């Protein structure tokens, strides 16, 4: 199981699962009967625009001058305009369809009226609709066309697009604040550090920028330890049931009729059954349940109830189920995969990618070499060694070129970050929720007066960026208030620096 789990731990969300390219052993993500196409209820949130983007910013070969259409979403509703130097809030798109991220970044919509902010959501190159070379068929074909997919090119895309947009709006003096969650949060933090002349500040939510190489804070076991702890904190028996189940699944699969038993226990569709795949499928539910353990019902990776980990453990501990471990696990999986109740069976071979994330495997195998592969002895999964070396070998064998595992820290740093940034840089918020397994690679301690860590012990993956609801717990409301206060301070300082009146804006 280790190898499979490693695959999926390497992806910030899930795209490695949905990849058929040279991987033939990975768990699926979505039950075949569930269509998770993007909601239409958000249509009024933004207009869709396209920007003619340069293919390679750092290179002057003739082919570097090729362009592609980069999609971005824009909302002028709340903007106070260029004359008022009203701010521009920009979301730094991550590894997927930008509409998906816009619809799950309600914080920007919720706060825009207060800040009179223009909202812009830029799609990351090679994801969603922003595909070079006329489409995925060519763009994803091989390393020659995929080679232009990198985090540095993406950041340069954002700088280029923002500068051009501001020029077209004659809004050169409108301050830009950037936002992002997960990989998008990394990009937001890095953008503030690399392009301070474009963005006055960054809210980097759940950005595991320390999950690289040998950076002290990022031990490869933390991801696994946090998932384990999330379930264990709900109930010890829930944890023990899951922990003990892997051997039981493998034993059952070995027995005559065992696979059929597993199929019927977990309502797996008839087309395919395999113990490894089933384990991957269950692990996915636990990990993504932990990542999206939000305090209110949500529909980010899947439609889920509030506190899905609690709900999964409730199913596992359900006293009415009797002694059947598989029935308990099925109850938990059904919460993650079938909260809407529409699924009649689950297809382990389903490789659908409703969020347009399939190019992540390329990033994960070239530069985004996250150090999260290890299982500790107390793991809710099967304990195993951190298999980083295997990982590197795997990348070398499977893909075109060797990984560059030290590139991210060379380009963006990370080692001794508190000393490096203590006297350099400013205006970054690092939010992390400690129930989020990615928080182990996040910045959890404030570095300076204006590079601050906000830590929510009860929080999950970029929960602060979600639309607010009436049911939000007080701690979440307070965190958002704190973030608004800090962003207000950045803007106040900027307006003071450029000698522009601040009082004319309607801040909270």
- Residues annotated as catalytic are 182, 436, 461
Of the candidate spans 14-22, 90-98, 159-167, 264-272, the one that interacts with a second copy by CB under 8 A turns out to be 159-167
**What is the smallest separation between the CB atom of 211 and a second copy, expressed in angstroms?**
16
**What is the smallest separation between the CB atom of 442 and a second copy, expressed in angstroms?**
17
**150 is an interface residue for a second copy by CB under 8 A:** yes
State the SS3 of 300-333: CCCEECCCHHHHHHHHHCCHHHCCCHHHHHHHHH
**64 is an interface residue for a second copy by CB under 8 A:** yes
**156 is an interface residue for a second copy by CB under 8 A:** yes
Q: How far is CA 480 from the centre of its chain?
A: 19
Closest CA to 418 of 209, 152, 213: 209
Q: Which one, 64 or 506, has the nearer CB to a second copy?
A: 64
Q: Which one, 138 or 421, has the nearer CB to a second copy?
A: 421
**170 is an interface residue for a second copy by CB under 8 A:** no
**468 is an interface residue for a second copy by CB under 8 A:** no
d(Cα 373, Cα 212) in Å, to the nearest integer? 12
**57 is an interface residue for a second copy by CB under 8 A:** yes
d(Cα 223, Cα 167) in Å, to the nearest integer? 43
Asked if residue 235 lies in contact with residue 228, where contact means CB atoms within 8 angstroms, the answer is: no
**421 is an interface residue for a second copy by CB under 8 A:** yes
In the list 349, 426, 468, 488, the residue contacting a second copy (rule: CB under 8 A) is 426
In the list 258, 331, 425, 473, the residue contacting a second copy (rule: CB under 8 A) is 425
Q: How far is CA 422 from the centre of its chain?
A: 27
In the list 148, 288, 346, 381, the residue contacting a second copy (rule: CB under 8 A) is 148
User: How are beta strands 201-205 and 176-181 bridged, if at all?
Assistant: parallel
Give the max Cα distance, the chain: 79
**What is the smallest separation between the CB atom of 199 and a second copy, expressed in angstroms?**
10
State the SS3 of 199-231: CCEEEEECCCCCCECCCCCCCCCHHHHHHHHHH
Asked if residue 204 lies in contact with residue 430, where contact means CB atoms within 8 angstroms, the answer is: yes
Of the candidate spans 107-115, 153-161, 373-381, 382-390, the one that interacts with a second copy by CB under 8 A turns out to be 153-161
In the list 248, 416, 477, 478, the residue contacting a second copy (rule: CB under 8 A) is 416
**502 is an interface residue for a second copy by CB under 8 A:** no
**415 is an interface residue for a second copy by CB under 8 A:** yes
- β-sheet bridge partners, residue 456: 433
d(Cα 174, Cα 193) in Å, to the nearest integer? 19
In the list 38, 169, 327, 420, the residue contacting a second copy (rule: CB under 8 A) is 420
User: How are beta strands 201-205 and 67-75 bridged, if at all?
Assistant: unpaired
Tokens, residue 440: 């182990």
Of the candidate spans 4-12, 98-106, 195-203, 216-224, the one that interacts with a second copy by CB under 8 A turns out to be 195-203
Using CB atoms within 10 A of its CB, is residue 447 exposed (0-12), middle (13-18) or buried (19+)?
buried
Q: Which one, 57 or 267, has the nearer CB to a second copy?
A: 57
List interacting residues with a second copy (CB under 8 A). Answer: 54, 56-62, 64-65, 143-144, 146-150, 152-153, 156, 159-160, 163, 172, 193-198, 362, 366-367, 400-402, 404, 406-407, 409-417, 419-427, 450, 493-494, 497-498
């Amino acid at each position: 199981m280790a190898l499979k789990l490693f695959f999926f731990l390497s992806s910030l969300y899930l795209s490695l699962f949905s990849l058929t390219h040279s991987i033939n052993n990975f768990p699926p993500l979505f039950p075949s009967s569930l269509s998770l196409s993007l909601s239409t209820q958000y249509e009024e949130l933004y207009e869709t625009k396209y920007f003619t983007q340069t293919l390679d910013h750092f290179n002057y070969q003739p082919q570097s001058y090729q362009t592609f259409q980069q999609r971005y979403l824009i909302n002028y509703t709340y903007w106070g305009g260029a004359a008022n130097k009203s701010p521009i809030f920009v979301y730094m798109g991550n590894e997927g369809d930008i509409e998906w991220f816009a619809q799950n970044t309600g914080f920007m919509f919720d706060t825009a009226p207060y800040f009179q902010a223009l909202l812009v959501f830029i799609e990351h190159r090679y994801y969603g609709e922003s595909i070079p070379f006329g489409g995925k068929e060519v763009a994803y074909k091989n390393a020659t066309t995929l080679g232009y997919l990198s985090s540095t090119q993406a950041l340069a895309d954002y700088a280029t697009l923002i500068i051009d947009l501001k020029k077209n709006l004659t809004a050169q003096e409108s301050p830009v604040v950037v936002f992002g969650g997960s990989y998008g949060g990394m990009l937001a933090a890095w953008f503030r550090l690399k392009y301070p002349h474009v963005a006055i500040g960054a809210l980097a939510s759940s950005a595991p920028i320390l999950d690289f190489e040998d950076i002290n804070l990022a031990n490869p076991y933390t991801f696994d330890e946090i998932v384990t702890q999330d379930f264990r904190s709900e109930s010890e028996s829930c944890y023990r049931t899951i922990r003990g189940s892997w051997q039981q699944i493998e034993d059952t699969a070995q027995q005559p009729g065992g696979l059929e038993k597993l199929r019927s226990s977990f309502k797996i569709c008839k087309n395919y059954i395999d113990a490894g795949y089933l384990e991957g499928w269950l692990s996915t539910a636990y990990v993504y349940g932990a990542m999206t353990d939000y305090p209110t019902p949500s529909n980010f990776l899947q439609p889920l109830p509030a506190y899905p980990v609690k709900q999964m453990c409730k199913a596992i501990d359900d006293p009415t189920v009797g002694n059947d471990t598989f029935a308990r696990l099925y109850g938990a999986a059904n919460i993650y995969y079938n909260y809407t109740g529409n699924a009649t069976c689950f297809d382990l071979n389903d490789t659908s990618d409703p969020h347009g994330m399939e190019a992540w495997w390329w990033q994960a195998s070239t530069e985004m070499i996250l150090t999260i592969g290890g299982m500790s002895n107390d793991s809710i999964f099967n304990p195993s060694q951190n298999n980083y070396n295997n990982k590197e070998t795997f990348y070398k064998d499977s893909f075109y070129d060797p990984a560059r595992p030290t590139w991210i820290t060379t380009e963006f740093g990370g080692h001794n970050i508190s000393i490096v940034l203590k006297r350099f840089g400013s205006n970054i918020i690092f939010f992390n929720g400690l129930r989020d397994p990615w928080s182990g690679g996040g910045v959890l301690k404030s570095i300076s007066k204006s590079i601050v860590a906000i830590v929510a012990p009860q929080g999950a993956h970029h929960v602060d960026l979600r639309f607010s609801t009436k049911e939000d717990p007080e701690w979440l409301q307070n965190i958002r208030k704190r973030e608004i206060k800090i962003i207000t301070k950045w803007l106040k300082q900027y307006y003071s620096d450029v000698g522009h009146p601040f009082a004319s804006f309607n801040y909270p």
